[in-house]
Amino acid sequence: MSHPNARRRVVLTGIGCVTPIGTGVQQLWAGLQAERSAVGTVTRFEAAIFRSQCAAQVDDFDATRWLDAKRVKRLDRFSQFAVVSAQLAIEDSRLDLEREDRERIGAMMGTALGGVGYAEEQAARFQQFGLRGVDATLALAVFGGSASCNLAIEFGISGPNSTNAMSCASGSMAIGEAFRQVRDGYADVMLAGGSEAPLATLCFGAFALIRAMSTRNEDPAHASRPFDRDRDGFVMGEGAAVLVLEERERALARGAHIYAEVMGYGTTNDAHHMTAPLPSGAQAARCMRMALHDAQCTPEQVDYINAHGSSTPLNDPTEVVAIRTVFGDHASRIPVSSTKGYYGHALGASGAFEAAISALALTNQWVPPTVGLETPDDACNLDHVPGTGRSMPLHTVMSNSFGFGGINAALVLRAAEP
């Protein structure tokens, strides 16, 4: 093991995902290029009892396309998303696990709710059929740690392993912590990302109850409107994304394709409120500064910010305040977009989606638009990219994630060197 003080360079060599706009890196990119929302009316359960009735669903997912049918039966939807995304990421990275030291490969994942949606389904079966009607794997499926543990079991990797449950920042935090594991020499390769399967009646209803979600039920394709004057809440989504993070020299030695280099990570807590962000944005700003400092990067070097931009009345302007605090006059010159208009807010998976999208933006030198943004709110005045993406030179990007409980996380990625 390298000495913990020896900072190694970490690169992103594989992307795997299951999202409402596409499964796998090529379909994800095609979905971004299409520049349209995947949000529709909920069909997974009866939503008419709720004020909010729209969501971004993954409707064409069949885990048996990638995994053995017996294995699939042992996994709930949350873990299926995670394992399939990891499988796709490994394939994309062309990592040959048979030739690797699997003790030097680990997994870190993030989720807000883990297997709670599955537990809800099983609770209904218990009410109807008693204990005999409950799936025997329930205890193994319901805890959030099943995401990273199932990756370890599926791929035989016994390096550092954890799943955090830090709400909507958890996917970004998993990637950031995995970055540190490789950078500091505790692992050579990490599978990192987030997974979420919250589209179940009570899970969905809990967020409807606190009036956090959009009620634009008559026009679901325009319900998620980050930074827009008429935004009225987030739209729930589902899915997973997993990235392969790898020590740079070994990635180069094996001829791996490098999407981007992971440069910095920061995380803080508002210590303010469970659902409302700190109005000053001070801790979100400190989080961004920490990521920049970790990346040894100045604010003026950032070419694009993939914002958290959840489409909620409080979060969006607070994020803008934080961005302006960190970037000063340069804030007005940095293109900013939130990609949640495409696929809603998949809670703990969102940060992983957006890290993958940030890497693709660097690879393709293209800034994705904020789908759903029509009239920017005066309180959200930045260089927004509404409607249509923007081709431009990109060298360094930041991806922000802010969640319930006051959790803040930021990642800094840089374009791969020729």
pLDDT tens figures, 112-148: 999 999 999 999 999 999 999 999 989 988 888 999 9
Q: Is the pLDDT of residue 308 over 90?
A: yes
Model confidence pLDDT, tens digit, residues 63-103 = 999 999 999 999 999 999 999 999 999 999 999 999 999 99
Asked if 214 and 75 sit in the same domain, the reply is yes
Is the residue at 258 inside a domain?
Answer: no
Asked if 177 and 242 sit in the same domain, the reply is yes
For residue 131, give both structure tokens: 């204990």
Distance CA 143, CA 164 (A): 11
Task: For residue 310, give the CATH number of its domain.
Answer: 3.40.47.10
Report whether 16 contacts 24 (CB < 8 A): yes
Residue-number span of the structural domain to which 62 is assigned: 10-253
State residue 1's pLDDT score. Answer: 46
Q: Is the pLDDT of residue 4 over 60?
A: no
The secondary structure element, H or E, covering residue 270 is none
Distance CA 63, CA 68 (A): 8
Asked if 245 and 268 sit in the same domain, the reply is no
203 is catalytic: no
Owner of token pair 């920490």: 290
The predicted model gives 41-45 an average pLDDT of 95
Asked if 29 and 149 sit in the same domain, the reply is yes
Asked if 226 and 282 sit in the same domain, the reply is no
Write the DSSP string, 368-384. Answer: PPBTT-SSB-GGG-SEE
Asked if 248 and 332 sit in the same domain, the reply is no
Distance CA 287, CA 284 (A): 5
Q: At how many degrees (to 10) do helices 350-364 and 170-183 cross? A: 60
Is the residue at 328 inside a domain?
Answer: yes
Distance CA 289, CA 282 (A): 10
Asked if 58 and 179 sit in the same domain, the reply is yes
Last residue of a domain, one of 227, 253, 279: 253
- Sign of dihedral through CA atoms 140, 145, 146, 152? negative
Owner of token pair 């409302």: 276
Pairing of strands 239-247, 10-19: antiparallel
* Alpha helix ranges (H) inside 298-378: 315-327, 340-343, 350-364
User: What is the radius of gyration, based on Cα positions, of the chain?
Assistant: 20
Please provide residue 37's backbone torsions phi and psi, each rounded to the nearest 5 degrees: -80, 145
Report whether 35 contacts 41 (CB < 8 A): no
Asked if 228 and 119 sit in the same domain, the reply is yes
- Percentage of the chain lying above the pLDDT 90 cut: 96
* Alpha helix ranges (H) inside 110-198: 116-129, 138-141, 146-155, 170-183
State residue 143's pLDDT score. Answer: 86
Distance CA 292, CA 298 (A): 6
Asked if 312 and 379 sit in the same domain, the reply is yes
The predicted model gives 365-385 an average pLDDT of 97
Model confidence pLDDT, tens digit, residues 227-279 = 999 999 999 999 999 999 999 999 999 999 999 999 999 999 999 999 999 99
Number of domains in the chain: 2
Asked if 194 and 226 sit in the same domain, the reply is yes
Is the residue at 101 inside a domain?
Answer: yes
Distance CA 18, CA 163 (A): 18
State residue 142's pLDDT score. Answer: 87
The predicted model gives 196-204 an average pLDDT of 96
Asked if 39 and 162 sit in the same domain, the reply is yes
State residue 144's pLDDT score. Answer: 86
Is the residue at 415 inside a domain?
Answer: no
Across 142-259, the runs of DSSP E, i.e. the strands, are 161-164, 189-196, 236-237, 239-247
Of the pLDDT bands very low, low, confident and very high (cuts 50, 70, 90), residue 5 is: low
Distance CA 7, CA 253 (A): 19
Burial of 271 (0-12, 13-18, 19+ CB in 10 A): exposed
Is the residue at 412 inside a domain?
Answer: no
Question: How many of the other CB atoms lie within 10 Å of CB of 27?
Answer: 15
Residue among 144, 172, 396 nearest 284 (CA): 172
In degrees, to the nearest 5, what angle opens at C-alpha 190 toward C-alphas 188 and 193?
160
Last residue of a domain, one of 225, 253, 281: 253
Last residue of a domain, one of 222, 253, 284: 253
Is the residue at 2 inside a domain?
Answer: no
Asked if 206 and 237 sit in the same domain, the reply is yes
Integer angstrom CA distances of residue 125 from 72, 73, 129, 137: 20, 17, 6, 14
The predicted model gives 43-47 an average pLDDT of 94
Q: Exactly one of 149, 168, 203, 287 is catalytic; which is it? A: 168
